[in-house]
Structure 1
């Protein structure tokens, strides 16, 4: 049996100043390409067997950030990332992103920083202004790579009627 794509959920968490909370993942995390030192990505992770997307999102957010959500957030983006050196569907990731508006908080996951660092390759959190992402010149990458374009649309026009398809 050929393994299919890995399904994951991610949260676009925006605070009252339209800052986005991102996680810094370092190797050997699968989201970090060989040439990169790290990737800044929205919190979230894989959907476990028997979970639906929103159950997985709630679990991942609580584990990683300590955030507890009760309402069903809107599904805003859909991304299918295919590994360049694998056949179609094998080694790929499907990310579904949901918009969450929250009051600014210090992320403190239920699993603890040490566990997240060793098991998840999560090296930290940071709240980013859109301009900081656009002006970033460091070696770290963002996921999606062109994060500023869909994030600008999300901040200026709100949640789309249907999820926007994203590239790498």
Structure 2
């Protein structure tokens, strides 16, 4: 199976607020962690460092634990059978990202910091769909021994 390999950052500030991007597609919108595809020969760490700089202007990313792996088959990436997203905890000071040229190219319309309470009570759609409860577990139970495998 030909999966598009991507890496995503769970960007958390000192108050454990999570930075998410709002992605707009023709048929739906959802909130997603910043990140993107690996380029040929690029490591997950290098790809995530590049993506965080390009998408949210984060120059010095403290990339920590690999906590989740999302695999989904379907029309999520042109030319691929599906996606594999590897999620890493990224710690940073609180900052306000400015829109970048990548936002328009990738259908990103907004960016905001979320508390766990806001995530758990939101009517919005997230990717992965269980992101609010997964983040709550991560922050209360700690880093899993192995990355959790999940679907859409």
Q: TM-score, length-normalised on structure 1?
A: 0.81
Structure 2 gaps, min length 5: none
1:135-154 matched pairs, under 5 angstroms? 135-137=121-123, 140-154=124-138
36, 43, 46: which one aligns with 1:45: 36
Structure 1 gaps, min length 5: 29-33, 85-89
Contact in 2 for aligned 1:99/1:159 (Cα 8 Å): no
136, 147, 161: which one aligns with 2:145: 161
Whether 2:60 is the aligned partner of 1:76: answer no
2:14 aligned residue: 16
CA RMSD of aligned residues (A): 2.0
1:105 aligned residue: 95
Q: TM-score, length-normalised on structure 2?
A: 0.89
CA distance in 2, matches of 1:128, 1:14: 9
Q: Which moved more, 1:116-125 or 1:4-13?
A: 116-125
User: What is the DSSP-based 3-state SS (H/G/I as helix, E as strand, rest coil) of the residue aligned with 2:69?
Assistant: strand
Larger Rg: 1
Q: 4+ residue runs of structure 1 moved beyond 2 angstroms?
A: 68-72
